[in-house]
Structure 1
Amino acid sequence: MDMPTVTPLMIFSAFAIGSIASYLAYKRERNPYIWFVVGFLFGIFGIFAIFFAAGKKKSVPSTEKKEPVFNIDGPKDKFWYYLDNLQQRQGPVSHDALTSAWKSGEVDVSTFVWNEEMTDWKPLKETLKAEEVKI
């Protein structure tokens, strides 16, 4: 059995088809180097494969608003006090306990709070600090 002869025309045509495949892949935002090799080795079938291969999914920018996260700004190692609905002082409570009471609805943003570092009672909304949501 004789081996098939590889002629310069065969190599040139394989190079040309590989180049076409590379160009088409580049236009479709695919890796042109890989598609050059596919076109070089498989010829016209490599070019057809570019069109039948699954396309890249384009990411759609998110339209939903990102809400800021509010945290109570103040010393975490000091005791806090707050005035309940009957204007009775409650406390001492830890920073975490005050945060839990706020998130559960027991304390709202109009509730007055105080700790040792504050000169006067302030509404909770004045001690809140907005932080960006990190995704």
Structure 2
Amino acid sequence: MASINFGPFDKNWFKKPPNPFPAINLLSVAESLNPFKPQTGTPLKFASITSSIKPQPEPENPPEEPGRYKKMLEKYFWESENLPDYRHTPEVERILQDDPVFEHKPNPDPIEVEENEKWWKEFRASPVVEFLTRAEEIADKINEMELKENATPYRSEDKKMWQAVPNVIGLDGRPMPRKAIKTKKESDDKFWDFARQFFFGLWGFRQRPYPPGRPIDVAQAIGYKKLEKRYYDFIMRSGGFYYKDRLGRTRGPMELIQLKTAWGGGIIDKHTFIWGEDMDEWHQLA
């Protein structure tokens, strides 16, 4: 029986292909799936007979180095993130330890030491220096007496809190005494002065600019414990904030935004004492 040829150019339709598919080697497949056999060579990808992934060749042209301005920008960012701390460097320590008036010599001669001792002896024997030294001692004693005199507030139950609040350091380096109310008449005057100012301001009456130096210390007259228990809202002032400047003087009254502006300008810091709304005593910003 003759076969029908449907292929072009007189070729058999069922002709054997020139490159037949290779037969699957079941032994190699079983060995590759064996988990206990150590792997040799590069492992093949999942579900692949041969690895078709080739390692990418390195680019012929390496990446270009950053330019001048890019290097400057990267250096700026690095310096911003890694700012050096010069507070404890040897140069700063030396500057802090140096005396602004007298020169320090590490290895002085015996003659220089003798001349120095003679000069100091004559300096301390001067009447002016003796007078100034005695004046400083008297000022320290007076300051100590004032602190001791004002160590107890008007209300005995507030003594512990009164002594826990630190005194503001004055311009001369001594702690400024916080005025304590002594008599009942002084306490009543403080209370009614504050009451007149509070209610007149509340009702819209014109009032004299009182006090000129600091707010009325009505909290001490009423008592801090009593204010905390019952009448804490009585001492609240609307829109009135005060702060102690570096000379120890009171600045105010002012709005809260002015305190924020002073903080941004560096006029006040976390060690500044303020007195404002809903506060019954000076307190630090920190």
Q: Which has the higher strand share?
A: 1
Of structures 1 and 2, the larger Rg is shown by: 2
Q: Same fold (TM over 0.5)?
A: no
Q: Which has the higher contact order (CA 8 A, sep 6+)?
A: 1
Give the TM-score range, shorter chain. Answer: 0.3 to 0.5
